[in-house]
Structure 1
Amino acid sequence: MLEKLSSLENEYRTLEAQLANPAVLSNQQEYGRLSKRYAEMGSLIAAIREYKKVLSDIAEAKELQFDPEFGEMARADLEALEPRVPELEAQLERMLLPKDPLDDKNAIIEIRAGTGGEEAALFAAELRDMLIKFAQMRGYKPEILDTSLTDLGGVSKVSFAINGPGAYGLLKYEAGVHRVQRVPATETQGRIHTSTATVAVMPEAEEVDVQLDPADLEITVSRASGPGGQGVNTTDSAVQVLHKPTGMIVSCMESRSQIKNKERALSILRSRLLEIKRAEEAAKRREDRLAQIGAGERSEKIRTYNFPQSRVTDHRIGFTTHDLEGVLAGDLSELHEALKKADQERQLEALSQSA
């Protein structure tokens, strides 16, 4: 393991030297590529150096443990340091797991109201706001693609993009069925209702990922409707794309530009087709339960938001927090750290079983 860690440190030092090279500085594309890798390695290198320092301190303490003057201090150091070795090794094992290359992509998110009528639509709108706030807190840029509003301000369905490197890796844990338990505003007798909304999270597919045959597409345009000001209804900007082989229909009308709406609709279609392909591949393998944590099965109930007890429970890992208000305000950090750790532990378990 130490040899591999030293190799990574050497790579990091090489990157530092390259980033200071004037020839690299003048090449924006190369500088961007190296900077990204350098930033990605930062936390890993910090963990490696901490691990090596602990090993060095242990070796030094062992040499001094029987010294008449420093022995007692050295033995106390050993008692504190030795339990840290397996902890740091487990941390490094998780950090060295292979990364899904799709994690770096933008994310396309589709939320649909499920069971519960208008209450489900209101909950879907809250989930939209929660995920957008979470992404914004992390520095990502949201972009609404298509929305179907209800009379009381809910959404029957909404699709939006989260743009920025690593957006899909951040948000993939949100895929699945979200359940809310509360007294709806429309309830006159104070009864608690249970409603659901479905969240699909897809890596944004590019043309290189999924190639579309124009003969398979039927594209129609129409006047946009809904929010967007007076100009939204004056041009044929809304775009609907029918994918004939699958019968899949994608619409986009949020922009006043027909060209942009068409590009976005095709992007959503490619992302859906990529997700179908990935699901089929996962079904063939089935050795990786990560599909239920990472990619997320749309039929699986993943989380419950219980308003009477101010409780949020993620059923995949048995995680519960009583900060319901904070979660709905976009503070998903603690929850996502727990999901990420569980995800890594399952990958390690799968690797050990296949070894």
Structure 2
Amino acid sequence: MKKNSLLQKLEVSKKEFLEISKSIIQPNIISDQKKYRILLKKYVTLEKIVFLYEEYKKRLASLKEVHFILENDSDMEMKELATTEKYKILENLSSIEKKSYNLLFSSEEESETEDDRKAVIVELRSGTGGDEACIFVEDILRMYTMYFKKSGWKYKIIHAQKGGIKGYKEIILDLNGEEGVYGNLKFESGVHRVQRIPKTESQGRVHTSAITVAVLPKVKDIEVNINLSDIKKDTFRSSGSGGQHVNKTESAVRLTHIPSKITVECQEERSQHKNFEKAISVLRSRIYQNEKEKRLRKISIKRKSLVSTGDRSIKIRTYNYPKNRVTDHRIHKSIYNLAGFMNGNIQEMINLLKFFENK
């Protein structure tokens, strides 16, 4: 983690705080209640950030003094005291950094785009690794659903294809929430790699498997107009759960968008009409994402983004079970609490990704 990047962010926040401090007492601002409330809310958040910034600078100055003693003092007792003090300061710095990141991203209105506020379609697919990859899809699904619950978001399964032994070859979710769902999950798109000993491995060897995750913002029909004449519709019997009715009738739907060659399947509903509606929703999101990725490729020449631009071969994260570590390769950040991470505690990593995206 680069301290200079954090210091720069905090310095910008301090300048903004000083500007708002002057503006908020002006008569024209006080008389405009809407503007005053917005500025007051911003003022309160920035005041906390500025306090942490001042504390952070004090701790860094103390750390500098301790390093000077360790490098120049010949008294061993002083060096021991300095070493003890150094670890206390580093612990304090780490705590302040964590609080600062949380505060810097506590107000989504300040940085989120229109897409960031949208609900999403989440697609998980097994990649290399056979049955183990299918099992990992199920593990990541559990991780996300636990995170959704903590965030107060609701999801529905649109499409699911079971794996050979256990898990899923593919699963698609429709996710909704009052806050910025896409703004938090957009960094999850890409290849997620797992390193662990599969239950089927008799010799205790660590295997590497991978799955792909795609997070697509949900869009309305006014944003993406699909010509029905461009769609090829196929119906078939569901292979998923749902009892005799689902398996005996052709309620499952497969849609192919001829111009883009995008194919979508939906079979979770008992009604063909409902499956068609859900498939259209996913298709619309994929078409929208394709267009968005074209724009991002042009922009990426000027600005490198952490958000995946459609290249599903990009490895973004590794989950290493023997070392109890999850590592995000885009920001070179590791968290040594894999069990907690897999139980849905992923917000810390998301906050760090947001920070590096906007620095």
TM bracket (short chain): 0.7 to 0.9
Whether 1:109 aligns to 2:107 is no
Q: Aligned partner of 2:261: which letter?
A: G
Whether 1:118 aligns to 2:131 is yes
Q: Aligned residue for 2:45?
A: 47
Q: Aligned residue for 1:306?
A: 320
- Cα 1:50–1:308 change in 2 (3 A) is closer
Whether 1:184 aligns to 2:198 is yes
- Cα 1:115–1:162 change in 2 (3 A) is same
Out of 303, 316, 339, which is 1:288 matched to? 303
- Whether the 8 Å CA contact 1:219–1:239 is kept in 2: the answer is yes
CA deviation after TM superposition for structure 1 residue 275, in Å: 0.9
1:141-174, Cα deviation, whole Å (9 max, x unpaired): 0111101101322211111111123211121111
Task: Provide the C-alpha distance between the structure 1 equivalents of 2:143 and 2:315, rounded to a whole number of angstroms.
Answer: 18
Out of 233, 242, 267, which is 1:219 matched to? 233
Task: Provide the C-alpha distance between the structure 1 equivalents of 2:31 and 2:343, rounded to a whole number of angstroms.
Answer: 37
Task: Provide the C-alpha distance between the structure 2 equivalents of 1:234 and 1:254, rounded to a whole number of angstroms.
Answer: 14
Task: Provide the C-alpha distance between the structure 2 equivalents of 1:115 and 1:195, rounded to a whole number of angstroms.
Answer: 5
Q: Aligned residue for 2:224?
A: 210
CA deviation after TM superposition for structure 1 residue 12, in Å: 12
Please list, as runs of the form range in 1=range in 2, the aligned pairs for 1:196-345 lying within 5 A after superposition.
196-286=210-300, 287-290=302-305, 292-293=306-307, 297-345=311-359
- Cα 1:12–1:340 change in 2 (3 A) is farther
SS at match of 2:33: helix
CA deviation after TM superposition for structure 1 residue 338, in Å: 1.5
Q: Aligned partner of 1:315: which letter?
A: H
Task: Provide the C-alpha distance between the structure 2 equivalents of 1:172 and 1:282, rounded to a whole number of angstroms.
Answer: 13
Task: Provide the C-alpha distance between the structure 2 equivalents of 1:183 and 1:52, rounded to a whole number of angstroms.
Answer: 47
- Whether the 8 Å CA contact 2:194–2:210 is kept in 1: the answer is yes
- Whether the 8 Å CA contact 2:105–2:351 is kept in 1: the answer is no
1:65-109, Cα deviation, whole Å (9 max, x unpaired): xxxxxxxxxxxxxxxxxxx9xx99xx7799686431101111111
Q: Aligned partner of 1:243: which letter?
A: H
1:272-322, Cα deviation, whole Å (9 max, x unpaired): 1111111111111222222x3466742211110001111111111111111
Task: Provide the C-alpha distance between the structure 2 equivalents of 1:93 and 1:222, rounded to a whole number of angstroms.
Answer: 46
Give the TM-score normalised by the residue count of structure 2.
0.72
- Whether the 8 Å CA contact 2:30–2:36 is kept in 1: the answer is no
Task: Provide the C-alpha distance between the structure 1 equivalents of 2:138 and 2:118, rounded to a whole number of angstroms.
Answer: 24
Mind listing any 5+ residue stretches in structure 2 that lack a counterpart?
A: 1-15, 54-95
CA deviation after TM superposition for structure 1 residue 337, in Å: 1.7
- Cα 1:236–1:16 change in 2 (3 A) is farther
Out of 113, 128, 152, which is 2:141 matched to? 128
Q: Aligned residue for 2:68?
A: none
CA deviation after TM superposition for structure 1 residue 323, in Å: 0.9
CA deviation after TM superposition for structure 1 residue 225, in Å: 2.1
- Whether the 8 Å CA contact 2:293–2:310 is kept in 1: the answer is no
SS at match of 1:263: helix
- Cα 1:220–1:294 change in 2 (3 A) is closer
- Cα 1:52–1:172 change in 2 (3 A) is closer
1:232-279, Cα deviation, whole Å (9 max, x unpaired): 224332111111112211010111122221111011111111111111
SS at match of 2:260: coil
Out of 136, 140, 148, which is 2:153 matched to? 140
- Cα 1:231–1:44 change in 2 (3 A) is farther
- Whether the 8 Å CA contact 1:182–1:308 is kept in 2: the answer is yes
- Cα 1:195–1:339 change in 2 (3 A) is same
Task: Provide the C-alpha distance between the structure 2 equivalents of 1:203 and 1:318, rounded to a whole number of angstroms.
Answer: 26
Question: How many residues align structurally?
Answer: 291
Q: Aligned residue for 1:99?
A: 112
- Whether the 8 Å CA contact 1:294–1:343 is kept in 2: the answer is no
Q: Aligned residue for 1:152?
A: 165
- Cα 1:14–1:230 change in 2 (3 A) is farther
